[in-house]
A and B are shown apart, each in its own frame.
Chain A
């Protein structure tokens, strides 16, 4: 698992190789730690985690602004909603 600051207000969380529940847990915790309006770029390769992360964002109001994926690897950009 790698967490890094890509640019101002943009963070990258790479959880490739991890299976459930790690990707969704790391995503939830990372989103809790960053500020409202900032973006989390999530990189993962466990398809079932995607379903849970999408539902979690839908429920909490965080917006998945972009979904890209190729060859079983996904890159989602999630913008944290205001509290």
Chain B
């Protein structure tokens, strides 16, 4: 028992060393996050509760004015404009993410069926467009969808577009732009999930009387669910806050929440209102993430899905 007094102190020394090591490694990242994420977020929150000043800058006293404005109550009574913008953002997010999933699944699966030496090239082809500036690519779509282009004329032929009009600006053009822009972010995680797919499970499902569709649903889908959820987070969250695409392809009726917020900060209109809009986006994002987590846990049978 002579050393019983020595051991704890030796242990505590080790713990101190470990804590110091932890601090050294974690600190740079923690400082970065604090300075560039946590502080601005709190600042934004503060701004949202201030009054709109003469030049659109926040002023005292504190008030709930900007949240009221955001909810649609203006000088002329209630108007549904902002509500429409919010709903449109949600709608565009859901539709474009859904379309991205539908397109990305077969692409990701197809790449895994290719010969090994072709796979990196195929993945590269998926990713390469996203190396070009988003604004430039979106301008490209403007050219493709403008009046008089083959696509617009096809639209007129089918009756989608009135005479002498283009396919943009429209909500359709925004959806198209979002799907095109975010496709790689779904293909990559899905590809990763498909690549480690346990084919024996799929064969077991077929062997146990599951038709191809049911075998997909019961044996492939659960295995690719982590990839699907990761992809959905990578697509849905930025899509929800997207600014460039609705700005260029949407026109007045295609505005999304990102444009609403941006407009309040640029042109000096109303910082508190913009901050309130940003907070609304943040809340919606957290609700969405929480919902995804729940879905992941349920469908994945408790298997932890890292988001």
Q: Do A and B come from one complex?
A: no
Q: Which residues of A contact B (CB under 8 A)?
A: none
